[in-house]
Structure 1
Amino acid sequence: MKKITMTVKLPLFRPTHAKQEMYRTMRSEFARLLNRVLDIKRQQPALNAKDIDHLLKKESILPSTTRQEARKLALSRYEEWEMNKTTKSFPRFKEKQTILFNNQNWRLRYDNGRLKLGIPTIEKGILTLEKYVPVQTNDYTEFWVQTLLTGEWDRTSKHYHPSFERIIEIKKGQGQLYEKKKRWYFAFSVTLIMRETEKPVQGKTVGVDRGLKMIAVAGCGQTGEYLIFHGRHLGHIRRNYHRLRRQLQTAKNRKAIKRLGCKERRIVHYWNHVISKRIVQFAEQTGATVIKLERLKGIRQMKRHWKRSDRNIHSWSFFDLEKKIQYKAEQKGLTVEYVDPYKTSQQCFRCGNVKRTNRRGSLFQCSCGYTKQADVNASFVISARPSIAG
């Protein structure tokens, strides 16, 4: 069986000022507990989870389940530090920390036609319907919420896909409450457990060439169709953030550097979502059953061969893009396979000739007379290459 994990984000619908102040109090207390657990563990390494929970119970107003989530997260960070403390500084959590909830301790339900969220808070008494807060949905989130609550597919929805019939179980995961730009959101993970199917008969194949000037080029050699994602805009973003980091490093403003890095990562993740979604849609439109990617292990070690590419190759997440393509493709019933990346940019798609001089910048010209944009040719070559073990 295959497991695919996705995230659903729901904005809270006009929470009252009292609710927002309560959430901010919980957020501050959650962050305090995280750092408290780190300090306790550093001072008393032999202390076990049960003893730590007993200490936290005496000094915190948070519900027991929320305290336990704080303890779990802090101990996981502590263990990571223990393994790498020669190279990493002791971890600390920021004040505006996302509040975590176990999958058994948050609930969604409809009340008078409106979706509401129930989470453990510092309010007195048990969690009654009056303490639930309304949340907003759109077509996409409504589709997945309905499926999660009823266990049935809305086959009339534009978000439904026949490949969803392979899903044999849907499990809700951990929930997160956080504030962003003065708005509160609740996000939760959903794990789709999919039944394995027989490998489909090899049909059309789409190859994806990833790079720097062109973040990704998807091409189907059998039909000659292709899709290009230019990297000009994204390259400008990377250079701008690199310049800002250098200025902040000169000023020794570490907090601002950290905030800047988080913002850049969010931008990268957003564009990887956009690119991966469009690649999968392109594969569906061409009638492809397989998406082929280059196996790019060790890509960062290759930076010494490229001029002026060191910061670009280290600031773009090829692995993140690969994983997003993989899980989006599997959702749609497509197969993702890998090929050997050796000289894909120098091989001619038409005759198979491999020669370094075939590629001249962004133009590919072979002695057989074949001419193509270089990255498009590479995507065609990838689509035609035999698969290797992933």
Structure 2
Amino acid sequence: MFMAILTLTLKLPFYRLNQCKSQEFDRLTKLNTGIGNQLLEIPKTDRRKYTSKDFNHVEIGSGWINQTIRNSCAATKVKKFKYLPLEVNNQGWRIEKKGDIYSVAFSIIRGVKKRIPLAIHQSNHTDVLDKIIAKSTKKGSLKLWKSKKRVRNLPSHGKCKTHSRQGIWYVLLSVSMEVPDAEPVKNWIGVDRGQNQIAVASLPDGFGKFWNGRQIKHLRRRYQKLRKQLQKANKRKVIKRLESKERRIITYINHCISKQLVQFASYYGMGLRFEDLSNIRQTSKQSKKVRSDAGNSRHAWSYFQLETLTRYKAIKNGVPFELVPAPYTSKSDHRNGVIGKRNGHWFRGFDGYQCNSDWNASQNIGQWLGFSCPLDLQKTVFVMDADGLKDGVNGSPPSRVPMRRATARGCSS
């Protein structure tokens, strides 16, 4: 049985991390950032010659220093680090379990080992941690990361005042594991991505699911308006915080959609087919007026993130995943492959047949046959030459587009 490699990054918060350790992490992170900035001042040719021995005067462990040197060498276009998190390779940490409590052990300060408990909020995380303990997975790097979220705590005694501390400390664990390749399937679910409809997934028998993009468009325009107001007031820190918040919301929405897509395909025992939208921002032009609207601009469209999240979830759950060419998926009739007319949300075939344009595109994606197609060229040419077509065939020469489409799919007359 062939195996696929699945790489995951677990984001786990520390369990009841006290203020002393939190401040220590802050101090060591600032020290690590200073070391990274010192290395950036050194020429690139000499920077790679440095090792942890050159930083014996620093209290941070050698494994962490070596990883900081690697990160500084990899940052070829960075002039100065604002925040360089502490990171160590797979040899510098381990997972332990006592009862139901998982903990991570590492040594940041030279000669001092610490074991800190973790807070586990998802059941699938425990499965991965058990595999790490059993050494059935390949460990990657460990990174200490502090969020920008403000947490309010009530004191246990004294006056009833609220005091806030900035940031929650997380540990980011990178893990690679082998999972069985997905079993071959007979039918595929086509998924069409867009900005009006974030995703449209349809079964071969016609049933489809729609994920509307109205919420994302409203969100993009709302934050765009806020940014303009804050830019006039020269509040740059608030702008960065809002951009980070907007990005997190969009990522959460894409996570939810990708999870539902994989569940949808797994329930019906089918695979997922996406259209390949590589370089669509360069190939699909937009006017400046349309691009200035954050709700319609393709530069604000996170189509690749949805594809990436769906891909790794599909691999993890044994659902086949494929990319198919995007040309003509929105302009072809899913019944016979003939070029039709698309007008907004509606698609109209040569015989007057009408259906939702996104649903029609998802049908074409799901029925894509590679380098063979059921296109009947004689019937197509006859339809193209027929009189009385109100809108023509998408405004293109009738004798070229179908033949070019057929040649691209390897059909022969």
- 2 CA distance for matches of 1:315 and 1:192? 33
Q: Aligned partner of 2:45: which letter?
A: A
* Alpha-carbon distance change, 228 to 51 in structure 1, aligned in 2, over 3 angstroms: same
Question: 1:252, CA displacement in angstroms?
Answer: 5.3
Report which stretch shifted further, 273-282 or 317-326: 317-326
- 1:164-243 correspondence runs (5 A): 170-180=137-147, 181=149, 182-194=167-179, 200=184, 202-220=185-203, 222-243=204-225
Report which stretch shifted further, 250-259 or 7-16: 250-259
- 2 CA distance for matches of 1:103 and 1:251? 46
- 1:35-114 correspondence runs (5 A): 35-39=37-41, 41=42, 44-51=43-50, 53-58=52-57, 60-78=58-76, 81=77, 90-95=78-83, 97-114=84-101
Question: The residue matched to 1:319 in structure 2 has which SS?
Answer: helix
**CA contact under 8 A between 2:88 and 2:141: conserved in structure 1?**
yes
- 1 CA distance for matches of 2:90 and 2:15? 22
Q: Which residue of 2 aligns with 1:137?
A: 120
Question: 1:267, CA displacement in angstroms?
Answer: 3.0
**CA contact under 8 A between 2:85 and 2:144: conserved in structure 1?**
yes
Question: The residue matched to 2:128 in structure 1 has which SS?
Answer: helix
2:327 paired with 1:342? yes
Cα deviation digits, residues 123-172 of structure 1 (max 9, x gap): x6442xxx311111131211211122225xxxxxxxxxxxxxxxxx5212
**CA contact under 8 A between 1:177 and 1:187: conserved in structure 2?**
yes
Question: 1:230, CA displacement in angstroms?
Answer: 1.1
Question: The residue matched to 2:200 in structure 1 has which SS?
Answer: strand
**CA contact under 8 A between 2:95 and 2:132: conserved in structure 1?**
no
Q: Which residue of 2 aligns with 1:299?
A: 280
Q: Aligned partner of 2:326: which letter?
A: P
Cα deviation digits, residues 74-132 of structure 1 (max 9, x gap): 11112xx2xxxxxxxx432224x43212111111101344211112223x6442xxx31
Q: Which residue of 1 aligns with 2:161?
A: none
Q: Aligned partner of 1:179: which letter?
A: K
**CA contact under 8 A between 1:101 and 1:174: conserved in structure 2?**
yes
More helix by share: 1
- 1 CA distance for matches of 2:34 and 2:272? 46
Q: Which residue of 1 aligns with 2:400?
A: none
Unpaired runs of 5+ residues, structure 1, are: 82-89, 152-168
Question: The residue matched to 2:189 in structure 1 has which SS?
Answer: strand
Q: Which residue of 1 aligns with 2:381?
A: none
Q: Which residue of 2 aligns with 1:87?
A: none
2:304 paired with 1:319? yes
Question: The residue matched to 1:51 in structure 2 has which SS?
Answer: coil
Question: Of the candidates 9, 12, 27, which is equivalent to residue 10 of structure 1?
Answer: 12
Report which stretch shifted further, 344-353 or 63-72: 344-353
* Alpha-carbon distance change, 203 to 265 in structure 1, aligned in 2, over 3 angstroms: same
Cα deviation digits, residues 47-85 of structure 1 (max 9, x gap): 243435444333x2211111112111111112xx2xxxx
**CA contact under 8 A between 2:255 and 2:309: conserved in structure 1?**
yes
Cα deviation digits, residues 236-271 of structure 1 (max 9, x gap): 222233333444544555555544444433333322
Q: Aligned partner of 1:115: which letter?
A: Y
Q: Which residue of 2 aligns with 1:84?
A: none
Q: Aligned partner of 2:81: which letter?
A: F
> Highest relative contact order (Cα 8 Å, sep 6+), 1 or 2?
1
* TM-score, normalization by structure 2: 0.76
Count of residue correspondences: 347
Q: Aligned partner of 1:379: which letter?
A: S
Question: 1:206, CA displacement in angstroms?
Answer: 0.6
* Alpha-carbon distance change, 73 to 261 in structure 1, aligned in 2, over 3 angstroms: farther
Unpaired runs of 5+ residues, structure 2, are: 150-166, 372-407, 409-413
**CA contact under 8 A between 2:334 and 2:364: conserved in structure 1?**
yes
**CA contact under 8 A between 1:65 and 1:102: conserved in structure 2?**
yes
Question: The residue matched to 2:25 in structure 1 has which SS?
Answer: helix
Q: Aligned partner of 1:37: which letter?
A: L
* Alpha-carbon distance change, 213 to 309 in structure 1, aligned in 2, over 3 angstroms: farther
* Alpha-carbon distance change, 265 to 135 in structure 1, aligned in 2, over 3 angstroms: same
* Alpha-carbon distance change, 250 to 267 in structure 1, aligned in 2, over 3 angstroms: same
Percent of aligned pairs with the same amino acid: 32
Question: 1:210, CA displacement in angstroms?
Answer: 0.8
Q: Aligned partner of 2:108: which letter?
A: T
- 1 CA distance for matches of 2:16 and 2:197? 42
**CA-atom RMSD, angstroms?**
2.6
Question: Of the candidates 354, 362, 365, which is equivalent to residue 339 of structure 2?
Answer: 354
Which one has the largest radius of gyration? 2
* Alpha-carbon distance change, 133 to 276 in structure 1, aligned in 2, over 3 angstroms: same
Question: The residue matched to 1:46 in structure 2 has which SS?
Answer: helix
